[in-house]
Structure 1
Amino acid sequence: MKIKTFEFNPLSVNTYVLSDETRECVVIDAACFYPDEKEMLLNYLIDNDLIVKRLINTHLHFDHLFGVNFLASHFGLPLDYHPADEFLLEDIPGQLRLFGFQGFSDDLTPPKGLYLHENDTVTFGRQQLRVWEVPGHSPGSIVFYSAEDGALFSGDALFRASIGRTDLARGDYEQLIDGIKKKLFVLPDETIVYPGHGPSTTIGFERRNNPFLQSDKSN
Structure 2
Amino acid sequence: MLYIESFTFNAFQENTYLIYNDKKECWIVDPGMYDNNETKHLVEFIDQKQLQPKAIINTHTHLDHIFGVDALKTRYSIPFLVHEKDLPVLNGAAGSAMLFGFDFKNIPQPDDFLSETQPLQLGTDEVTILFTPGHSPGSVSFYYGPGNWVIGGDVLFSGSIGRTDLPGGNFDTLIYSIRTQLFSLPDETVVHSGHGPATTIAHEKKYNPFLQ
TM over 0.5: yes
- Distance across 2 between alignment mates of 1:6 and 1:59: 17
Code of the aligned partner of 2:166: L
- CA distance in 2 between counterparts of 1:119 and 1:105 reads 33
Q: Is 1:33 the equivalent of 2:34? A: yes
CA RMSD of aligned residues (A): 1.2
SS at match of 1:30: coil
Q: Name the structure 1 match of 2:201.
A: 203
CA distance, structure 1, for counterparts of residue 136 and residue 197 of structure 2 = 21
Structure 1 position 2, deviation (Å): 1.8
Partners of 1:185 and 1:88 lie apart in 2 by 26
Farther off after superposition, 176-185 or 84-93: 84-93
1:147 positional shift? 0.8
- Find the counterpart in structure 1 of residue 98 from structure 2: 97
What residue is the counterpart of 1:217 in the other structure? none
Does the CA contact (< 8 Å) of 2:69 and 2:80 recur in 1? yes
Q: TM-score, normalised by structure 2?
A: 0.96
Structure 2 counterpart of 1:9: 10
Kept in 1: contact 2:152–2:193 (CA 8 A): yes
Q: 1:125 aligns with which of 119, 123, 126?
A: 123
- List alignment gaps of at least 5 residues for structure 2: none
Q: Structure 1, unaligned stretches of length 5 or more?
A: 215-219
Contact 2:97 2:104 in 1 (8 A): no
Matched with 1:160 is 158
What stretches of structure 1 move > 4 A for 4+ residues in a row? none
Q: Deviations over 1:5-57 (max 9, x none)?
A: 00000001100001121111111001111221100101111121111111100
In the aligned structure 2, how far is the partner of 1:105 from the partner of 1:122? 29
Distance 1:163 1:23, change over 3 A: same
1:78: Cα distance to partner? 2.1
Question: What CA distance in whole angstroms lies between the structure 2 residues aligned with 1:105 and 1:2?
Answer: 31
User: Which of 189, 192, 210 pairs up with 2:190?
Assistant: 192
For residues 2 and 131 of structure 1, the distance between their equivalents in structure 2, rounded to whole angstroms, comes to: 17
Q: TM-score, normalised by structure 1?
A: 0.93
TM superposition shift of 1:106: 4.5
CA distance in 2 between partners of 1:131 and 1:45 (Å): 24
Amino acid at match of 2:183: F
Identity %: 39
Does residue 141 (structure 1) correspond to residue 142 (structure 2)? The answer is no
Asked whether the equivalents of residues 19 and 125 of structure 1 are also in contact (C-alpha less than 8 Å), the reply is: no
